[in-house]
Chains A and B, each alone.
Chain A
Amino acid sequence: MPPGPTQLSGHRVAERLNAALPGVVVTATDEWVEVAPARLVDALRWLHDSSEFDAAQLSNCCAVDRHDRFEMVYHLQSLDLNHQIAIKATIADHEQPALPSAYAVYKGALLQEREVYDLMGIVFDGHPDLRRIFLWEGFPGHPLRKDFLGLGNLTPGLARFPFEDRDRPDRIMNPAPLRHDASARAQNEQDVPDDWRGAAPA
């Protein structure tokens, strides 16, 4: 696979990264560098701050389900130097995947990590607002996982709209309260009319 026209060789990045932060690199290929998940944020921050790589922007981040593990892929780019770096982190735990959030370094991770959390189920520690984004709280499973349709009892699509499901209050589309103040939260609860709230759980 030819790397992108402006993509930096993973070996070169890995070499410099290892020199600055010993032990952070797990493997490296021509295209990407794999870093230790626990030290991901350190690596990202170093790349962001270093004048050699100047990875100022998180271009893209997404996860790949490899059946037994998850791969989180970050495409960083430097606008001034016009190059691109691919960073990967492998999450070994397929049941309860978790990774430190890149939000501390890149604000652009805010929505992208919410998307990954929603569709892949990876929990990002340190993310300021980790909620599902496309699907509603209480949606069973994470649809982009390879075993999603194997969860049992599930067919793609919904039989009903979520707020019609009065027997299952947890499925009612109910977004998080606005973090305005405590009274806002109380009001928020009142905002939902009774007949939308569904029957109270027995």
Chain B
Amino acid sequence: MSSDVKSRPATPMLREILEQPTLLGGIRSTPLPVRLGLAVFALGFLVVNVAIGVLVVSGRLDGHWYDFRDLGNATAALRSWLDDRDLGPWLSYWVTALIGGVGILSFVGGVLLIGTWVERRLLAKFQIRRGPNRVGPFGLLQPLADALKLIQKEVLIPIGADRKLFFLPPILIFIPAMLGWGPVPWAPNMAYLDVNVGLLYVVAISSLAVLAIFIAGWSSNNHYALLGAMRTVAMMVSYEIPVSLSLLSVVLFTGSLQLSEIVAWQSTHNTWLAMILPFSLFTFFFSSTAEINRTPNDIAEAESEIVAGFHTEYSGMKAGLFLAVELGNALLVGALVSTFFLGGYSLFGLEEWIPPYLILFAKISAVYFLFVWLRGTLPRFRLDQLMGYAWKFLIPLSIAFVGISAVEASIFARVDAPGLIVLGAIGIVNVVLTFVLVRAWARVVGYEVPRGEDTRPTLTTAVGGLRAAQRLRVTP
């Protein structure tokens, strides 16, 4: 029992963990030329950034096609250039449509790959693991390797499956996940499909996925898949309503269904709707987790109960598509939450300086981080608990809050005071109301917050059987 052995880690694994290089140690151990190269690179980066800053401040970029802060300018310039050539209006329309479509697709594709890596690495951090770190630098190429593997794998079709229907869902489910990105405004001029009913469009598109999921569950001819599909349908049907109701409050305040208008409203009033409508934000976020099968509502593919739910029988890249869509939906919900509640591409005037699409991307990433965090932290609800939560809790309270926000919106329209003060007052009132109403309603529906102290085990030193058990129960 000598003390000199105490510092020695017991096993190779422990030793490896303890001897991981720290950041500072890593820099110190890098050779001098590499360090110099890094320093030069950092300096160059700084110089370029300062130069761009000068350009922006002097206003030489505004509105030109090379104004990188809003890629919509370049497209508009291209469009007017094509129109000037008098080649017919259809050409400029199709060219810009193609550019936008390819842009969205490549963005989503790229982000999906990185998003997989981010999710796995983050989960690994939450779970005191390392995560993928072997393929490429920091394991960044891991998703690519996984995709390659999935593409190579055989796509099995079960004997009992309905072959035609079985083929469809991976494609069908991909379409709404892509279409949903259409009306999201990335910058004032940078929205692919800035229709005036954008909000309705988003809600409608998001409910399309349920069809694909049910086809997948039904055509697999697998009992797990059908259970998962039924759960999904039940959840989707329930949670469409709170989603729509929570967005109704947004519409009442902004007075528009157009997503760019909603962002513009938040930008002009220098506020985020999240501050004014906290309950709507919560409802939208929570219901979205149910709609896109993320923890704590990943009931449709509850791994410990029904294996993989509706896509149990899918293999190879088809399963990969389902997983990719799940991740893509999380990003899409991130984009929608940012747009509706977190000010979209605007950031209190900073969007003049930083490219607005980067601001939106940062907000999407933040919401996505929240999704991953929840996944790494929370257990799963049971189906009946989740449905009860929607019908008994979210929907009545959402209806109440729609009424409240209607009153508040009309007050806001009529009161002749600085907008920020009124909105601040409304925000404070709403936060208080949220607390009060949630507590009151919980009491009305008879829900009690479980108290852990009541359930601690009793400690005893005497053994016994039934009689001892009864004694213990009498005098806990």
Interface residues of A (CB under 8 A from B): 54, 56-57, 78-82, 193
Bound complex: CA of A56 vs CA of B464, how far in Å?
Answer: 11
Q: What distance in Å separates the Cβ of B471 from its nearest Cβ neighbour in chain A?
A: 10
Supply 11 A–B pairs (Cβ within 8 Å), ascending by A. Answer: A56-B465, A56-B466, A57-B465, A79-B464, A79-B466, A79-B468, A80-B464, A80-B465, A80-B467, A80-B468, A81-B465
Q: In which size bucket is the chain B interface?
A: under 10
List the B side residues contacting A193 at CB < 8 Å. 159
* Closest residue on chain A to residue B463 by CB atoms: A82
Q: A54-B465, A82-B463 are in contact. List 14 more A-B contacts (CB 8 A).
A: A56-B465, A56-B466, A78-B465, A79-B464, A79-B466, A79-B468, A80-B464, A80-B465, A80-B466, A80-B467, A80-B468, A81-B465, A82-B464, A193-B159
List the A side residues contacting B467 at CB < 8 Å. 80
* Closest residue on chain A to residue B159 by CB atoms: A193
List the B side residues contacting A78 at CB < 8 Å. 465
Q: What distance in Å separates the Cβ of A176 from its nearest Cβ neighbour in chain B?
A: 19
| CB proximity to A under 8 Å, residues B102-149 | none
Bound complex: CA of A54 vs CA of B468, how far in Å?
Answer: 13
List the B side residues contacting A82 at CB < 8 Å. 463-464
Bound complex: CA of A78 vs CA of B464, how far in Å?
Answer: 8
Could you mark each residue 32-58 of chain B with 1 if its beta carbon is under 8 Å from any beta carbon of chain A, else 0?
Answer: 000000000000000000000000000
* Closest residue on chain B to residue A193 by CB atoms: B159
* Closest residue on chain A to residue B160 by CB atoms: A193
Bound complex: CA of A79 vs CA of B464, how far in Å?
Answer: 5
| CB proximity to A under 8 Å, residues B360-411 | none
| Pairs A-B, 9 closest by C-beta atoms | A79-B465, A80-B465, A80-B467, A80-B464, A56-B465, A79-B464, A82-B463, A80-B468, A56-B466
Q: Which among A57, A80, A81, A82 has the highest number of chain B CB atoms within 10 Å? A: A80
* Closest residue on chain B to residue A80 by CB atoms: B465
Q: What distance in Å separates the Cβ of A21 from its nearest Cβ neighbour in chain B?
A: 24
Could you mark each residue 71-107 of chain B with 1 if its beta carbon is under 8 Å from any beta carbon of chain A, else 0?
Answer: 0000000000000000000000000000000000000
Bound complex: CA of A28 vs CA of B278, how far in Å?
Answer: 77
Bound complex: CA of A81 vs CA of B464, how far in Å?
Answer: 7
Bound complex: CA of A80 vs CA of B466, how far in Å?
Answer: 7
| CB proximity to A under 8 Å, residues B209-253 | none
Q: What distance in Å separates the Cβ of A178 from its nearest Cβ neighbour in chain B?
A: 14
List the B side residues contacting A57 at CB < 8 Å. 465
Q: What distance in Å separates the Cβ of A39 from its nearest Cβ neighbour in chain B?
A: 26
Bound complex: CA of A54 vs CA of B466, how far in Å?
Answer: 10
Bound complex: CA of A81 vs CA of B462, how far in Å?
Answer: 11
Q: What distance in Å separates the Cβ of A190 from its nearest Cβ neighbour in chain B?
A: 11
Bound complex: CA of A193 vs CA of B158, how far in Å?
Answer: 12
List the A side residues contacting B468 at CB < 8 Å. 79-80
Bound complex: CA of A80 vs CA of B464, how far in Å?
Answer: 4
* Closest residue on chain A to residue B468 by CB atoms: A80
List the A side residues contacting B463 at CB < 8 Å. 79, 82
Bound complex: CA of A80 vs CA of B468, how far in Å?
Answer: 7
Bound complex: CA of A81 vs CA of B466, how far in Å?
Answer: 10
* Closest residue on chain B to residue A57 by CB atoms: B465
Bound complex: CA of A81 vs CA of B468, how far in Å?
Answer: 10
Bound complex: CA of A78 vs CA of B467, how far in Å?
Answer: 11
Bound complex: CA of A48 vs CA of B84, how far in Å?
Answer: 101
List the B side residues contacting A79 at CB < 8 Å. 463-466, 468
List the B side residues contacting A54 at CB < 8 Å. 465
Q: What distance in Å separates the Cβ of A197 from its nearest Cβ neighbour in chain B?
A: 14
Bound complex: CA of A56 vs CA of B467, how far in Å?
Answer: 11
Q: What distance in Å separates the Cβ of A51 from its nearest Cβ neighbour in chain B?
A: 11
Q: What distance in Å separates the Cβ of A107 from its nearest Cβ neighbour in chain B?
A: 14
List the A side residues contacting B464 at CB < 8 Å. 79-80, 82
* Closest residue on chain A to residue B223 by CB atoms: A191
Could you mark each residue 3-32 of chain B with 1 if its beta carbon is under 8 Å from any beta carbon of chain A, else 0?
Answer: 000000000000000000000000000000
Bound complex: CA of A57 vs CA of B469, how far in Å?
Answer: 14
* Closest residue on chain B to residue A81 by CB atoms: B465
Q: What distance in Å separates the Cβ of A124 from its nearest Cβ neighbour in chain B?
A: 26
Q: What distance in Å separates the Cβ of B395 from its nearest Cβ neighbour in chain A?
A: 36
Q: What distance in Å separates the Cβ of A154 from its nearest Cβ neighbour in chain B?
A: 36
Bound complex: CA of A78 vs CA of B463, how far in Å?
Answer: 11
* Closest residue on chain B to residue A54 by CB atoms: B465
Q: What distance in Å separates the Cβ of B157 from its nearest Cβ neighbour in chain A?
A: 15
Bound complex: CA of A193 vs CA of B468, how far in Å?
Answer: 53
* Closest residue on chain B to residue A79 by CB atoms: B465
| CB proximity to A under 8 Å, residues B442-476 | 463-468
Q: What distance in Å separates the Cβ of B347 from its nearest Cβ neighbour in chain A?
A: 59
* Closest residue on chain B to residue A82 by CB atoms: B463
* Closest residue on chain B to residue A56 by CB atoms: B465
* Closest residue on chain B to residue A191 by CB atoms: B223
Bound complex: CA of A54 vs CA of B465, how far in Å?
Answer: 10
* Closest residue on chain A to residue B467 by CB atoms: A80
Q: What distance in Å separates the Cβ of B467 from its nearest Cβ neighbour in chain A?
A: 5
List the B side residues contacting A80 at CB < 8 Å. 464-468
Bound complex: CA of A80 vs CA of B470, how far in Å?
Answer: 11
| CB proximity to A under 8 Å, residues B58-76 | none
Q: What distance in Å separates the Cβ of B470 from its nearest Cβ neighbour in chain A?
A: 10
* Closest residue on chain A to residue B462 by CB atoms: A82
List the B side residues contacting A56 at CB < 8 Å. 465-466
List the A side residues contacting B159 at CB < 8 Å. 193
Q: What distance in Å separates the Cβ of A88 from its nearest Cβ neighbour in chain B?
A: 24
Bound complex: CA of A56 vs CA of B466, how far in Å?
Answer: 9
Q: What distance in Å separates the Cβ of A162 from its nearest Cβ neighbour in chain B?
A: 22
Bound complex: CA of A78 vs CA of B465, how far in Å?
Answer: 7
Bound complex: CA of A96 vs CA of B159, how far in Å?
Answer: 45
| CB proximity to A under 8 Å, residues B153-197 | 159
Bound complex: CA of A193 vs CA of B159, how far in Å?
Answer: 10
Q: What distance in Å separates the Cβ of B156 from its nearest Cβ neighbour in chain A?
A: 16
